[in-house]
Amino acid sequence: MELYALTIHELHDRLKAGEVTAGALARAVFDRIRAVEPEVHAYITLLEEPALAQADRADRAIRDGDLRALTGIPIALKDIFCTRGFRTTCGSRILENFIPPYDATVVERLAAAGAVFTGKTNMDEFAMGSSTETSYFGLTRNPWDLDRIPGGSSGGSAAAVAADACIAALGSDTGGSIRQPAALCGVVGLKPTYGRVSRYGLVAFASSLDQIGPFTKDVEDAAILMNVIAGYDPRESTSVPEDVPDYRAFLGRGIDGWTVGIPKEYFVAGLDPEVETAVRDAIGVIEGLGARCVEVSLPHTEHCLAVYYIVAPAEASSNLARYDGVRYGYRSPDGRDLMEMFKKSRSAGFGAEVKRRIMLGTYALSSGYYDAYYKKASQVRALIKNDFDAAFRTCDALVTPTTPTPAFRIGEKTDDPLQMYLSDILTISTNLAGIPGISVPCGYTAAGLPVGVQFQTAHFAEGKLFQIAAAYEKHANFTKRRPKL
């Protein structure tokens, strides 16, 4: 098997045994990128020269006996994380040439663990989208079918992992932006508990929803990355000082005697029959592993989409007010006065979907409407969280589909924003409640498109999440399959 097709833990063992060098691994990955990138377009910015320098340093460290968790492992970063000295665009014209003066905390932690950074991956502009079609730098294609979308907003990261154009990647998840593209690209994607991973250096979309997590080729690799990036950060106000266990210790424990909830609201009209079949088969595997699967109800699920599309745009309109053409980012050369410069810079710098959400959010926060929209949505959000709290009082985990359909065709939903928003209908509740969720491959459609199953657990119970996901993965064995590019 080619080096670029291996997992973090497989490569770590080979590096430790001296069977391969970090330099050879990095060169193999960049050869793979050159082979598939013209078709997939997973990256906005490639960092080959700095990556090869990092790989050389990794080889010196290995010779000196300093082999860390990610030493020499090529990892891609969604282009929403600040990287000192290298541009961070968020897929937007307004940040096309922005070079941050500091690294995000997750970037610092990956670097300290020895990672080699392959580049910054493509994404929906400011993470606002479900298909990676809103990027100013062009769309990303699904490696399983180049006529289909990879999901979004972290579609570039998911596609890069699926296409073996990196060994693993980081993304951000505001309403499903890790789990949804992971499902559509046939890889593992994890959204941790809100506050588990520092958001310092993450360019904000919706600050009460955003969370950072890994894309990997199997569940063990996700545990390895979470061991590195999780933990308290005093620089980030929502970071929680909660002890972080060794997540790899939960792998292989089994789930015999568990109670697993199946929310009835997630199996409704509109769910693709092939998706439902694959997920029902996954539930059968879970039962075969000794868990008792019971139907549960999350009664406020029907309000999730409405709540999300009030809360997220409202917070986005506030966060994106900083892009005014003055402090950094794109500035229109045509403004005759300050106000005109503001308007023209923002009009030219933002794409249509970002403008749509800014307008929706500004309206929801406006005088006379705040109580009717944002305040009311926040109250219903509390009820959604209460639903999950009640479910986890009797269940160890929940199992649902990750997406309502397999990957759809490029351009299929770009003219219908509501249909696009419905792509995240099964993932947004996890963000609203702040709980962790993971998507694991659970099958394929007749057309060969991947399907994902989603596991959810209570706040800061990522250990249980890894326990059930790894148990399922081992017996279902779908994570080894790769697209033929």
Query: Which of the residues are catalytic?
Result: 78, 153, 177
| 464: nearest Cα among 392, 401, 397 | 397
Two tokens at 243? 């002890």
Cα separations in angstroms, 428 against 228, 268, 289, 309, 324: 26, 16, 28, 10, 30
Which residues are paired to 1 by β-bridges? Answer: none
d(CA 126, CA 154): 10
Q: How many CB atoms lie within 10 A of CB 19?
A: 10
And the tokens for 177?
Answer: 């932006």
With 0-12 CB in 10 A as exposed, 13-18 as middle and 19+ as buried, what is 93?
Answer: middle
Residue 267 half-sphere exposure, CB side, CA atoms within 13 Å?
Answer: 21
Task: Give the burial string for 146-175 (b: 16+ CB within 10 Å, else e).
Answer: eebbbbbbbbbbbbbbbbbbbbbbbbbbbb
Q: How far is CA 195 from the centre of its chain?
A: 15
Residue 108 to residue 113: CA distance in whole angstroms: 9
Do 76 and 123 contact (CB within 8 A), yes or no?
A: no
Q: Which tokens go with 44? A: 């906005």
